[in-house]
Amino acid sequence: MAVGKPAKHAVEELTEGQQNRRRMLAWLSSVGLFGSAIISAISNLVFIKPRATYGAPNRFGIGKPDDFPSGTRIALGEHRVCIVREGDKLCAISTTCTHLGCIIAPSETGFACPCHGSRFDQDGNVTGGPAPKPLPWYALSLAPNGELEVDKGTEVGAGTYLKV
Amino acid sequence: MRLALAIAAFVILIIHGLVFYDQFFHKWESYQTAYFDQARALAKTDTERAAVSGRKPRIEQTIVTTFGENRVDRCLTCHIGSDDPRFKEHAQPLRSHPFSEALGDRLLNGKWERRHKFSDFGCTVCHDGQGRGLETFYAHGEDHYWNDPLLGYVTQHDWRAEFKDKLKSTEFMQANCAQCHTEENFKSTPLVAQGRQLFFRKNCYGCHRIEGLSSGTLGPDLSEVGKKFKLDYLWESIVDPRANSKTSVMPQFKLSEAEIRALVTFLKSRRGINYSETSLDRYRATLAGKSTVGKVAQPGQPGAAATSVATASSVVATVPTAALGEKLINDKSCLACHKLGNQDGGVAPDLSFAGLVRDEQWFMEHFRDPRARVADSIMPSFGFPETDFLSITAYLKSLTTPPPFTSPAEFFKGTCARCHGEKGDGKGAIAVYLEPYPRDLTKAGFMNSKSDERLITSIKEGVAGTSMAPWGHVLNDEQVRSLLAYIRQTYVKDKQRPLKERDVPNTNPIAMSAESVTRGDQIFQQRCTGCHGKKADGKGPNSLDILPRPRNLHNADFLNATTDRRLFESILYGVQGTAMPPWVDYGLTKNDVGNLVNYLRSLNQNAQTTKTGNKH
Ligand code: FES
């Protein structure tokens, strides 16, 4: 390598204006990069969950309230939910066993699982067997077209009824 | 360097910001928010309020598994008020879907009930469009190349402007109702039923095939036409058949706009498969060897559909009469192609004097099998009942007023020019539909190499196997002569020279034998196939560049009416004014030609034995 000229620039004093400009640029760069990073992070967190999947819909209509006369406990097999009506109060209780996910059937005392014998009372609380948690209740609402709508995406506390 | 870094960082930030905005602030979210707000305001009871409270914008989707392929419909994501009767006055996309008797909806105790619940049927089953799309453009499919743009609402930007208003109509939706409601006279799809009737009444079935309905082969198969083409294309193809295919021979039918609408709707409903069939049904149908689409007639029987429809329509014929024939000719759209009196379809020969120049037998053979007498006729085989054919024949035979012969020029203009052209150049209005083409009378080479006797025979007796009719039934000898004189004088520019005497035998000196035919076949394959084709059907590789086209040598009527002498002359000395060369110059001997003639005769022998009475 040829011997170069002495690097004069390195030792040169920066004027105050130059320093300001450098500080400013560094600040702008970091705002840009950090901003991008934050937006990316938020996006990633949100997009990690799909907005729509091709499974059965979470929110579905199940018919008119009149289809469920007072005192009925009707299990809707395909939706895995049991509609209970007492007087003008309605609720929707899951029929998926909290143990290993079998489909449970309404029984005289509440619900019974055929797989490993879990039992639940009328409100879905565990009364026996291996099931670790009570059956969830789902939000039930009256759609504008007059149909009852179950939203399996929204759990509500046991004892939350829809009045019709 | 630092500046560049700062700029780059900002550009990245802006891009990120845009992507973020694009992904998080959707039109549909604002529609849903608007819906929730308004629904809350409209709520009268606590239950109503509770139904909206706590709902957040999200993608609403229906997965429809019942109708053929699974469909994912996200239309309700924007049209979230579709099933909310309180929104019937709102602007789209929130407006509620109307109720209507035609859709099967019922009014019960003052409340409407839907027959087609959105959760069961989705939206795209009826409306088309792209169910998965979440933006107007993608969902409604306003794109020419989209599979199924929204039926009846969307007008494509490149649709022909004059069709635009005609294509915006909810009536076209009937095409989709017919996917499931395949009954012939389903009350909610009157347009489809009308279109189906028109399909038969206008004789479309003669040319077009629709699986389970018809078996025409001349035009394109329409079984799946509704799947492949959009409303505008269908509309255009009917009103202007040559818009998309320059060589189309489809006539321009004189249809009212209502009739076109019906036909377009019917065609749009033809999708090969329909939603009401599950794949299992389809599988069973293939096993049973028949389609379940359209239960009009047994598929596979060409005449069946036509017959059943013909008898089903008002014409129930038992005794053939000329009056019935006249009605049939008009009803059945014969005049969409043919000319009769002052009605002219502009495709097929003039029928005004057909009764004078053709006999009953010719008509009947022609109707039953249009290619029986004119080998390459494009007329479809219409499977009408025999009584209809007899009636049409009776009617045509009853037309006995000959064309007036005031002067040869007038006669040529009124009768010959439709094929041979006003200028006599063989480019008449219907010439392109005739096979073989009409003679170009201006070709002096041809005209001057033929004796007057020969040409007079052609005029008087017609040319068998072609559309040239025997005008001797209409004109007397004197008139034929003056007509030929007129043609020679007006159209053939060169002077007629005395014809060379040619050494041609009157009958083939080589006896017909298997050996001679084989020899003739060999020569044919070596010398003639370039133009006449390997199968001798006139479709050799060179044929497309040649006018007039090489003869189809399977035209039995033509060959049987042609003497050995003429064949010898044409082969040995060529046909002037055409591409046929004088083969004597290329070393063919009379014996070779004799073998060739035997070969050609053998090609048409079968036809010869089955047919009698070629001459008129
Ligand atoms: S799955 Fe129900 S008890 Fe085990």
> What is the reported pLDDT for B282?
60
> What is the reported pLDDT for B283?
64
> What is the reported pLDDT for B609?
44
Question: Which residue, among A19, A38, A39, A42, would best test binding to B if mutated, counting the most B CBs under 10 Å from its CB?
Answer: A39
- Which atom of ligand 1 has the smallest separation from the CA of A118? 3
> What is the reported pLDDT for A94?
92
- Report percent pLDDT > 70 for chain B: 91
Q: What angle do CA A76, A78, A83 make, to 5 degrees?
A: 20
pLDDT digits (tens, 9 = 90+) for B222-272: 988 888 888 888 999 999 888 888 878 788 887 899 999 999 999 998 887
With beta carbons under 8 A apart, name residues in chain B contacting A42.
Answer: 20
> What is the reported pLDDT for B305?
41
> What is the reported pLDDT for A92?
92
Mean pLDDT of B193-208: 87
Mean pLDDT of B192-199: 91
The two counts, helices (H) then strands (E), for chain B are 30, 8
pLDDT digits (tens, 9 = 90+) for B340-384: 888 887 888 888 888 888 888 889 988 888 888 888 888 888 778
Alpha carbons within 13 A on the beta-carbon side of B540: 23
Mean pLDDT of A33-58: 83
Residue among A113, A120, A133 to mutate when testing ligand 1 (max atoms within 8 A of CB): A113
Distance separating alpha carbons of residues A26 and A123, to the nearest angstrom: 62
Top pLDDT among B154 and B187 is at B187
Most confident stretch, B224-228, B444-448, B517-521, B572-576: B517-521
What are the distances in angstroms from CA A22 to CA A27, A111, A153, B3? Answer: 8, 72, 53, 9
> What is the reported pLDDT for B31?
92
Mean pLDDT of B148-154: 82
Contact B117 A61 (CB under 8 A): yes
Top pLDDT among A2 and B264 is at B264
> What is the reported pLDDT for A52?
78
Angle between helices B590-603 and B564-573 (to 10 degrees): 120
- Does residue A126 line the site of ligand 1, with CB under 6 A? no
Distance separating alpha carbons of residues B263 and B210, to the nearest angstrom: 13
φ and ψ at residue B597, rounded to 5 degrees: -60, -40
Ligand 1 centroid – CA A112 distance (Å):
9
With beta carbons under 8 A apart, name residues in chain B contacting A139.
Answer: 54
Alpha carbons within 13 A on the beta-carbon side of B325: 22
Instruction: Tell whether the model's pLDDT for residue A103 goes beyond 60.
Output: yes
Contact B6 A56 (CB under 8 A): no
Instruction: Answer left, alpha or beta for residue B223, where phi above 0 means left and psi between -120 and 50 means alpha.
Output: alpha
Top pLDDT among B280 and B432 is at B432
Give bridge partners of residue A12 from the DSSP assignment.
none
With beta carbons under 8 A apart, name residues in chain B contacting A40.
Answer: 16
pLDDT digits (tens, 9 = 90+) for A4-22: 455 555 556 778 888 888 8
Query: Which one of A40, A56, A139 has the shortest CB-CB distance to B16?
Result: A40
pLDDT digits (tens, 9 = 90+) for B48-83: 888 888 788 888 888 887 776 788 899 999 999 888
Candidates B400, B485, B411, B506; CA nearest to B441 is B485
Ligand 1 centroid – CA A139 distance (Å):
24
Top pLDDT among B298 and B530 is at B530
Query: Given pLDDT bands bounded at 50, 70 and 90, which one contains residue B109?
Result: confident
- The string of DSSP letters for B467-514 reads S---GGGTS-HHHHHHHHHHHHHHT--SPPPPPPP----SS-SSPP-H
Is the separation of the CB atoms in B580 and B532 below 8 Å?
no
Contact A60 B72 (CB under 8 A): no
> What is the reported pLDDT for B262?
94
Instruction: Tell whether the model's pLDDT for residue A80 goes beyond 70.
Output: yes
Query: Which one of A22, A28, A60 has the shortest CB-CB distance to B9?
Result: A28
Question: Which residues of chain A are at the B interface, by a Cβ-Cβ cutoff of 8 Å?
Answer: 22, 25-26, 28-33, 35-36, 39-40, 42-43, 46-47, 51-52, 54, 56-57, 59-61, 139, 141-146, 149, 154, 162-164
Mean pLDDT of B440-459: 86
Mean pLDDT of B21-31: 85
pLDDT digits (tens, 9 = 90+) for A142-162: 888 888 889 888 888 888 888
Residue pairs spanning A and B at CB distance below 8 A: 92
Distance separating alpha carbons of residues B254 and B256, to the nearest angstrom: 7
* Exposed / middle / buried, residue A76 (Cβ in 10 Å: 0-12, 13-18, 19+): middle
With beta carbons under 8 A apart, name residues in chain A contacting B10.
Answer: 28, 32
Question: Which residues of chain B are at the A interface, by a Cβ-Cβ cutoff of 8 Å?
Answer: 2-3, 5-6, 8-13, 16-17, 19-20, 23-24, 39, 46-48, 50-51, 54, 58-63, 72, 74, 81, 83-86, 111, 114, 117, 119
Ligand 1 centroid – CA A98 distance (Å):
7
The answer to whether the pTM exceeds 0.95 is no
- Report percent pLDDT > 90 for chain B: 10
> What is the reported pLDDT for B616?
38
- Which atom of ligand 1 has the smallest separation from the CA of A130? 3
Ligand 1 centroid – CA A74 distance (Å):
20
pLDDT digits (tens, 9 = 90+) for B280-328: 666 666 666 554 444 433 333 333 344 444 444 444 546 888 888 888 8
Is the separation of the CB atoms in B266 and B222 below 8 Å?
no
Mean pLDDT of B398-411: 86
> What is the reported pLDDT for B312?
41
Instruction: Tell whether the model's pLDDT for residue B100 goes beyond 70.
Output: yes
